[in-house]
Chains A and B, each alone.
Chain A
Amino acid sequence: MADRSSNKSSPPAAGTFRLGRRAGRILWLACLLVPPILFFVVFLVVPIASALIYSLFEWQGIARAGFAGLANFRQLLFEQPWQDWTTNAFWHNVIVFITLMIVQNGVALVLAYVLGGEPRGTRFYQVVFFLPVTLALVLVGFQWKLFLNPLFGVVNKLLDAVGLEALSQPWLGQTSTALMTLILVNAWRWLGFPTIVFLAGIRTIPREYFEAARLDGANEWHVARHITWPLIAPAVTIIVILTFIGSFNWFDLPFVMAGLDGPPGKATDVLGLYFYRTAFGEVSAGLQDFGLGSALAVLMFLFILAVSIVWTRVLRGREVELS
C-alpha cells in the first residue's frame, strides 16, 4: 500500500548543513505537521478510543455512571431480548453481504469482462453504468420506495402491463421480500462501482497474454478462467473487502425505505439500524443507552476489522505479481 521507494526521490533536506537554518526547519515542519496531527487526534483517535472505554460503563442519558465491566457486552450477546435482536440483525447483514457478492459483484464482473473487450461504445457505457454511484442513497431509496408502492408504484404497474399481475406484490411490506428488495435497490445504486474497478483490473493485463492463449487454442471460457480471473485478483480483493465493510455498515437505505425499526416485524433490521436505535433511542420508546450502543459499536468494529484483516491476508495470497 505505502510507496516504499519514497526516500529515493526525497530531496536533501534544506539547511541540513547550515546550523542557523536548522531551527527554522524544525519550526517549519512543526507548522506543517502539528495542525493535522492535532485535528486527527481530537476528531478520530480520541473518539475511537473513547468508544472502547464507554462500552465498559453504565450510562444515564449522556452522563457516565458506574463501571460495568463487560456487562454491556453480556447483555447484547446473552440476555433476552437483546440476544435475539443482535443475532437477527447480524444474520441480515450476512445475507446482505452474500447477496451483494452474488448479484451485484457477479453482474459487475460479467459487465467488466465484456467491456474489457472494448466493444463499440465502451466509454459511453462506462459513464452510464457509473452514474447511480454518484446519487445519494437517501435519494435513491425514496425514488425506489415510490416506484415500489404496492398501489401506485410503477413496478407493479409494469408487471400488470406485461401480463405478470401474479407477480405484483407489496415488495417492501411483506417479510418474505422486504430485505431482498432493499438489497436489489442497493445493487442498482452500486453496480457501477465494482464494474469500473474490475474493468481497471482487466486493463492492466497485457494483451499479449490473451493473444498467446488464443494462439494455443484456448477458448473464451479458458481465457476468462485462467487468465483474466487470476490476474484481476487485486481488484477482487478490494471489492470483497469494501462490499463486506459496506454490508456491515448498511444504514441509509433500510432507514429511508423501511424504517428505523426494521419493518415489517424486524425483517429488514440490520446492525446499523439496531446500533442507532440502541444509542439514540427507539422511535416509539425514546430510550437510549450509550453504554449498550458503545458495546455494540465495539463488537461491530472488532468484527469488521478482524474479518477484513484475515480476508485481506487470504485473498492477497492468490494474487499474482505481474512483472
Chain B
Amino acid sequence: MRPHRPGIRWTSSSLIQLLLITNTVLVLYPILMMGLSAFKSTPELFRNPFGLPENWNLANFIKVWERTNFPLYFRNSLIVTSGAVLLILVLGVMAAYALARYRFRGNELLYLFFLSGLMIPLRLAVIPLFIQLKAMGLINNHLGLICIYGAQGLPSAVFILTGFLRTLPSDLEDAARIDSASELQILLRIMLPLTRPALVIVAIYNLVPVWNDFFFPLVFLQKESLKTLPLGLTVFMGQYSTDWAVLFAGLSLAALPVVVVYIFMSRQFIAGLTAGALK
C-alpha cells in the first residue's frame, strides 16, 4: 500500500505484534479507565476500580454539566480557539501571499524576520506581555489571549503557507489578470481555494495546542466567567476533590470533543501536529 516499504523481514512477526499490542494497551487502558470510571458512583469506583460499571449511569455527567461551570469553560475555549485560529489564518495568508507571489525588495529579509519567531518560546516574554496587555485593557479579556496566540502562531503559518503558495503554478493567476480581475479577486477566488490543504495544516497545527493551552489563561484570566477549559479544570478539580466519580466525568467530558474529532480526522491531526517537525 505504501510506496516505501523498508522491507524489514522479521522472523517472528508475532513478537512484533506483541510489542505493538502491549503499547496499545498502555495507551488505551488509562483513557478507557477514565471513561468507565465516569459511569460509576464514587463508592463503586473504590470497590470495583477495574471492572465495567454495574449500570451505565449518566448522573455524574449530568452533575458536571448542570452544576459546574463546564458549559461556560467550553464556550470560552471555543471562542478563544476559533478566534485565534481565524486570526492566524487571515494574517498568515496575507503575509505569505505577498511573500510567495510577488517579487519586491526586502522580500527574503521579511520572510526571515517572520521565521525568526519560530524558535522563540513566547511564554518567556509573559511579563512584558502582561504589562502591555494591562495597558491595552486586555487582561481578563479573550481578545488579549487571541492576540498572543495569533503572534505565537504567525511564524509557523507564514512558513507553511509561503512554502505551499510558492509551489502553485502562475497560469491561472496570469489568465485572470488578462481578464482584468483585480488582485483581491485573484487572491480570494483563485488562490485561496487552491491553498486549502495548507490552511487545514495550519489550522490543526494551532488548534490543538491553543485548545489545550494552560499557561497563558493562567496568567491572563482571573475572572471565573472567562476561564477556558484547561484552566477551568483546575477550579473544578478543587471543588469536587472528594467526589472522584464526578472528577472522572469532568475529565472525560473535557477529553471527549478532541478524541471524537481525532477519530474522524486522525490523518489530518497527525499531519497537522507534526507539521513543525517534518519538512
Contacts and interface: CB of A to CB of B under 8 A. Distances in A.
Interface magnitude class on chain B: 35 or more
Contacts of A43: 129, 147-148, 150-151
Given A114-B19, A188-B30, A290 B270 contact: no
Contacts of B130: 62
B4 A203 contact: yes
A154 B244 CA distance: 12
B115 A2 contact: yes
A314 interface: no
Given A120-B17, A251-B215, A300-B124, A134 B259 contact: yes
A9 B255 contact: no
A193 B274 contact: yes
Given A3-B163, A135-B258, A197-B278, A205 B31 contact: no
B202 interface: no
B6 A10 contact: no
Contacts of A192: 27
A217 interface: no
B239 interface: no
A17 interface: no
Interface stretch (A76-84, A91-99, A125-133): A125-133
B188 interface: no
A265 interface: no
Interface string B145-171: 001101110100011001100111110
A35 B91 CA distance: 7
Contacts of A7: 103
A115 B21 CA distance: 12
Given A47-B122, A142-B233, A223-B8, A188 B26 contact: yes
Interface stretch (A48-56, A164-172, A173-181): A48-56
Contact of A117 (B8, B122, B170, B259): B8
Contacts of A111: 19-20, 23
A131 B259 contact: yes
Contacts of B104: 13, 29
Interface in B126-145: 126-132, 134
Chain A residues touching B, majority SS: helix
Given A11-B170, A143-B251, A249-B123, A119 B13 contact: yes
A138 B212 contact: yes
A127 B266 CA distance: 6
A110 B15 CA distance: 13
A301 interface: yes
Nearest to B158: A36
B177 interface: yes
B199 interface: no
Given A154-B33, A210-B6, A130 B251 contact: no
A203 B8 CA distance: 12
A220 B100 CA distance: 45
Given A128-B24, A139-B255, A297-B125, 16 more contacts: A1-B115, A9-B166, A10-B100, A10-B101, A32-B98, A39-B147, A51-B124, A107-B23, A117-B6, A131-B28, A132-B27, A132-B31, A133-B273, A135-B255, A136-B229, A203-B2
Please list the 7 inter-chain residue pairs (A to B) with the smallest Cβ-Cβ separation, ordered nearest first: A11-B170, A43-B151, A50-B128, A117-B8, A136-B212, A47-B125, A36-B95
Interface of B: 1-2, 4-10, 13, 16-17, 19-20, 23-24, 26-28, 30-31, 33-34, 45-46, 49-50, 91-92, 94-95, 97-98, 100-104, 110-115, 117, 119-132, 134, 147-148, 150-152, 154, 158-159, 162-163, 166-170, 173-174, 177, 183-184, 208, 211-212, 214-215, 219, 229-231, 233-234, 237, 244, 247-248, 251, 254-255, 258-259, 262, 266, 269-270, 273-274, 276-279
